[in-house]
Amino acid sequence: MSDLLTLQKVSAGYGEAIVIANIDLHLKPGEALAVLGRNGTGKTTLLNTIIGVTRHRGGSIVLDGRDLTTARSDRRAHAGIGWVPQERNIFKSLTVEENLTAVSRPGPWNVNRVYDMFPRLKERRTNMGNQLSGGEQQMLAVARALVLNPKLLLLDEPTEGLAPIIIEELLAALTRIIRGEGMSAIVVEQHAQKILGVTDNALILDRGTIVHASSSRALIEDPAALEQHLGVTAKKKPMRAASH
Protein backbone atom coordinates (compact mmCIF):
# COMPACT_ATOMS: atom_id res chain seq x y z
CA MET A 1 0.00 0.00 0.00
CA SER A 2 1.35 3.42 -0.97
CA ASP A 3 2.00 6.03 1.69
CA LEU A 4 -0.63 8.68 2.29
CA LEU A 5 2.00 11.01 3.74
CA THR A 6 5.76 10.91 3.30
CA LEU A 7 8.32 13.22 4.87
CA GLN A 8 11.90 12.70 3.75
CA LYS A 9 14.79 14.44 5.53
CA VAL A 10 12.57 17.37 6.48
CA SER A 11 14.14 20.25 8.38
CA ALA A 12 12.21 23.39 9.31
CA GLY A 13 11.86 26.12 11.89
CA TYR A 14 11.14 29.79 12.42
CA GLY A 15 13.32 32.59 11.12
CA GLU A 16 16.92 31.43 11.29
CA ALA A 17 16.23 28.78 13.93
CA ILE A 18 16.01 25.15 12.81
CA VAL A 19 13.64 23.36 15.22
CA ILE A 20 13.21 19.95 13.54
CA ALA A 21 15.97 18.27 11.54
CA ASN A 22 16.10 15.35 9.10
CA ILE A 23 12.65 13.99 9.91
CA ASP A 24 11.62 10.85 8.04
CA LEU A 25 7.96 9.89 8.41
CA HIS A 26 5.69 7.50 6.54
CA LEU A 27 1.94 7.24 7.14
CA LYS A 28 -0.31 4.71 5.41
CA PRO A 29 -3.99 5.40 4.60
CA GLY A 30 -6.12 4.71 7.66
CA GLU A 31 -3.13 4.81 10.00
CA ALA A 32 -2.84 6.95 13.13
CA LEU A 33 0.46 8.17 14.57
CA ALA A 34 1.15 9.55 18.04
CA VAL A 35 3.89 12.18 18.24
CA LEU A 36 5.25 12.33 21.77
CA GLY A 37 7.96 14.23 23.60
CA ARG A 38 8.67 16.63 26.39
CA ASN A 39 7.89 20.32 26.08
CA GLY A 40 9.95 22.15 23.48
CA THR A 41 11.10 19.10 21.54
CA GLY A 42 9.54 20.09 18.20
CA LYS A 43 6.18 18.30 18.29
CA THR A 44 4.05 21.31 17.34
CA THR A 45 6.68 22.44 14.84
CA LEU A 46 6.37 19.08 13.07
CA LEU A 47 2.62 19.59 12.59
CA ASN A 48 3.16 23.23 11.63
CA THR A 49 5.63 22.07 9.01
CA ILE A 50 3.17 19.58 7.52
CA ILE A 51 0.49 22.28 7.29
CA GLY A 52 3.02 24.77 5.91
CA VAL A 53 3.42 27.53 8.51
CA THR A 54 7.13 27.12 9.25
CA ARG A 55 10.23 28.04 7.27
CA HIS A 56 11.26 25.08 5.12
CA ARG A 57 14.96 24.31 5.42
CA GLY A 58 15.24 21.00 3.58
CA GLY A 59 13.61 17.73 2.58
CA SER A 60 10.28 16.91 0.94
CA ILE A 61 6.62 16.52 1.95
CA VAL A 62 4.29 14.42 -0.22
CA LEU A 63 0.58 13.85 0.46
CA ASP A 64 -1.23 11.18 -1.54
CA GLY A 65 1.30 11.46 -4.34
CA ARG A 66 1.22 15.26 -4.45
CA ASP A 67 4.40 17.18 -3.61
CA LEU A 68 3.47 19.86 -1.09
CA THR A 69 7.01 20.85 -0.10
CA THR A 70 6.68 24.43 -1.33
CA ALA A 71 2.87 24.72 -1.31
CA ARG A 72 1.11 27.43 0.69
CA SER A 73 -0.84 26.34 3.76
CA ASP A 74 -4.20 27.01 2.09
CA ARG A 75 -3.25 24.73 -0.80
CA ARG A 76 -2.25 22.03 1.65
CA ALA A 77 -5.66 22.31 3.30
CA HIS A 78 -7.36 21.99 -0.07
CA ALA A 79 -5.13 18.98 -0.83
CA GLY A 80 -6.70 17.20 2.14
CA ILE A 81 -5.10 18.21 5.43
CA GLY A 82 -7.43 18.99 8.33
CA TRP A 83 -5.72 20.86 11.18
CA VAL A 84 -6.78 21.25 14.79
CA PRO A 85 -4.21 23.65 16.31
CA GLN A 86 -3.69 24.23 20.02
CA GLU A 87 -5.39 27.62 19.67
CA ARG A 88 -8.50 25.88 18.21
CA ASN A 89 -9.15 28.88 15.91
CA ILE A 90 -12.93 28.64 15.98
CA PHE A 91 -15.05 31.66 14.96
CA LYS A 92 -16.15 32.94 18.35
CA SER A 93 -18.66 35.41 16.89
CA LEU A 94 -20.49 32.67 14.94
CA THR A 95 -22.80 29.98 16.26
CA VAL A 96 -21.69 26.37 16.47
CA GLU A 97 -23.67 25.54 13.35
CA GLU A 98 -22.33 28.56 11.45
CA ASN A 99 -18.78 27.52 12.38
CA LEU A 100 -19.45 24.18 10.71
CA THR A 101 -21.37 25.30 7.63
CA ALA A 102 -18.90 28.10 6.90
CA VAL A 103 -16.08 25.65 6.15
CA SER A 104 -17.82 22.39 5.15
CA ARG A 105 -16.95 20.64 1.91
CA PRO A 106 -18.76 17.80 0.16
CA GLY A 107 -18.04 14.35 1.53
CA PRO A 108 -19.10 11.78 4.10
CA TRP A 109 -18.58 14.11 7.06
CA ASN A 110 -21.43 16.63 7.27
CA VAL A 111 -22.99 18.69 10.03
CA ASN A 112 -25.45 16.00 11.11
CA ARG A 113 -22.73 13.38 11.26
CA VAL A 114 -20.49 15.47 13.50
CA TYR A 115 -23.52 16.18 15.71
CA ASP A 116 -23.87 12.42 16.10
CA MET A 117 -20.19 12.26 17.05
CA PHE A 118 -20.43 15.21 19.44
CA PRO A 119 -23.94 15.43 20.95
CA ARG A 120 -22.85 18.39 23.08
CA LEU A 121 -22.40 20.45 19.91
CA LYS A 122 -25.90 19.59 18.71
CA GLU A 123 -27.30 20.74 22.04
CA ARG A 124 -25.40 24.03 21.68
CA ARG A 125 -25.75 24.50 17.93
CA THR A 126 -27.24 28.00 18.35
CA ASN A 127 -24.66 29.12 20.91
CA MET A 128 -21.87 31.47 19.85
CA GLY A 129 -18.34 30.14 19.91
CA ASN A 130 -17.46 32.39 22.82
CA GLN A 131 -20.32 30.88 24.86
CA LEU A 132 -18.78 27.40 24.81
CA SER A 133 -16.61 25.84 27.48
CA GLY A 134 -13.00 24.99 26.63
CA GLY A 135 -13.92 21.36 26.08
CA GLU A 136 -16.82 22.27 23.81
CA GLN A 137 -14.57 24.60 21.82
CA GLN A 138 -12.12 21.74 21.35
CA MET A 139 -14.93 19.47 20.14
CA LEU A 140 -15.99 22.20 17.72
CA ALA A 141 -12.43 22.55 16.44
CA VAL A 142 -12.29 18.82 15.72
CA ALA A 143 -15.75 18.90 14.11
CA ARG A 144 -14.72 21.83 11.89
CA ALA A 145 -11.73 19.87 10.66
CA LEU A 146 -13.92 16.83 9.96
CA VAL A 147 -16.48 18.70 7.82
CA LEU A 148 -13.59 19.69 5.57
CA ASN A 149 -13.56 15.94 4.73
CA PRO A 150 -9.77 15.69 4.95
CA LYS A 151 -7.55 12.81 3.93
CA LEU A 152 -5.37 13.46 6.98
CA LEU A 153 -6.28 14.92 10.37
CA LEU A 154 -3.62 16.73 12.42
CA LEU A 155 -4.37 17.31 16.10
CA ASP A 156 -2.08 19.36 18.33
CA GLU A 157 -2.44 18.58 22.06
CA PRO A 158 -6.21 17.96 21.81
CA THR A 159 -6.60 17.17 25.53
CA GLU A 160 -4.52 20.05 26.90
CA GLY A 161 -6.18 21.98 29.72
CA LEU A 162 -9.43 20.00 29.68
CA ALA A 163 -11.29 18.51 32.63
CA PRO A 164 -10.85 14.72 33.03
CA ILE A 165 -14.47 13.93 32.13
CA ILE A 166 -14.17 15.99 28.93
CA ILE A 167 -10.86 14.31 28.08
CA GLU A 168 -12.56 10.91 28.30
CA GLU A 169 -15.41 12.10 26.09
CA LEU A 170 -13.03 13.57 23.52
CA LEU A 171 -10.80 10.48 23.48
CA ALA A 172 -13.85 8.27 22.97
CA ALA A 173 -14.82 10.39 19.96
CA LEU A 174 -11.26 10.29 18.56
CA THR A 175 -11.25 6.51 18.97
CA ARG A 176 -14.45 6.30 16.91
CA ILE A 177 -13.09 8.69 14.28
CA ILE A 178 -9.72 6.95 13.97
CA ARG A 179 -10.50 3.33 14.76
CA GLY A 180 -14.13 3.13 13.73
CA GLU A 181 -14.04 5.39 10.69
CA GLY A 182 -10.47 4.73 9.58
CA MET A 183 -9.40 8.38 9.56
CA SER A 184 -5.68 8.88 9.00
CA ALA A 185 -4.34 11.05 11.78
CA ILE A 186 -1.25 12.46 13.46
CA VAL A 187 -1.83 13.36 17.11
CA VAL A 188 0.66 15.41 19.10
CA GLU A 189 0.29 14.65 22.79
CA GLN A 190 2.53 15.28 25.78
CA HIS A 191 0.94 12.54 27.86
CA ALA A 192 1.57 9.16 26.25
CA GLN A 193 -1.00 7.19 28.22
CA LYS A 194 -3.83 9.31 26.86
CA ILE A 195 -3.27 8.60 23.20
CA LEU A 196 -1.30 5.37 22.67
CA GLY A 197 -4.44 3.27 22.96
CA VAL A 198 -5.96 5.16 20.02
CA THR A 199 -3.02 5.14 17.59
CA ASP A 200 -1.23 2.47 15.55
CA ASN A 201 2.31 3.79 15.79
CA ALA A 202 4.26 6.29 17.82
CA LEU A 203 7.39 8.36 17.60
CA ILE A 204 9.19 10.38 20.23
CA LEU A 205 10.96 13.63 19.46
CA ASP A 206 13.87 15.09 21.39
CA ARG A 207 15.67 18.27 20.33
CA GLY A 208 13.92 18.19 16.99
CA THR A 209 14.92 14.68 15.95
CA ILE A 210 13.22 11.29 16.20
CA VAL A 211 14.76 9.30 19.06
CA HIS A 212 12.24 6.45 19.19
CA ALA A 213 9.80 4.93 16.70
CA SER A 214 7.67 1.84 17.23
CA SER A 215 4.14 0.55 17.24
CA SER A 216 1.97 2.13 19.91
CA ARG A 217 1.46 -1.25 21.54
CA ALA A 218 5.23 -1.83 21.75
CA LEU A 219 5.71 1.54 23.41
CA ILE A 220 2.90 0.87 25.89
CA GLU A 221 4.73 -2.32 26.85
CA ASP A 222 8.14 -0.60 27.09
CA PRO A 223 8.23 1.34 30.37
CA ALA A 224 11.98 1.86 30.01
CA ALA A 225 11.49 3.85 26.80
CA LEU A 226 8.67 5.87 28.37
CA GLU A 227 10.87 6.63 31.38
CA GLN A 228 13.97 7.43 29.34
CA HIS A 229 12.41 9.70 26.75
CA LEU A 230 9.32 11.08 28.47
CA GLY A 231 10.19 10.85 32.15
CA VAL A 232 7.01 8.96 32.98
CA THR A 233 6.28 5.52 34.31
CA ALA A 234 3.38 3.62 32.77
CA LYS A 235 1.37 2.85 35.90
CA LYS A 236 -1.62 1.61 34.00
CA LYS A 237 -1.85 0.41 30.41
CA PRO A 238 -4.49 2.19 28.36
CA MET A 239 -7.28 0.13 26.91
CA ARG A 240 -6.58 -0.86 23.34
CA ALA A 241 -9.47 -0.11 21.03
CA ALA A 242 -10.51 -2.71 18.48
CA SER A 243 -8.58 -2.40 15.24
CA HIS A 244 -10.46 -1.08 12.26
Q: How far is CA 77 from CA 28, 81, 105, 152, in A?
A: 19, 5, 12, 10
Note the pLDDT tens digit of each residue in 130-188: 999 999 999 999 999 999 999 999 999 999 999 999 999 999 999 999 999 999 999 99
* Residue 231 pLDDT: 85
Residue ranges per domain, the chain?
90-140
Maximal CA-CA distance, the chain: 49
Residue 106 has pLDDT above 50, yes or no: yes
Give the sign of the dihedral formed by CA 93, CA 151, CA 172, CA 211: negative
* Residue 82 pLDDT: 96
The 10 Å Cβ neighbour count of residue 133 is 13
* Residue 235 pLDDT: 54
**What is the mean pLDDT of the segment spanning 206-224?**
95
CA dihedral of 163, 104, 29, 116, whole degrees rounded to 10: 50
Q: How far is CA 95 from CA 112, 152, 226, in A?
A: 15, 26, 41
- Under 8 Å between Cβ of 162 and 203: no
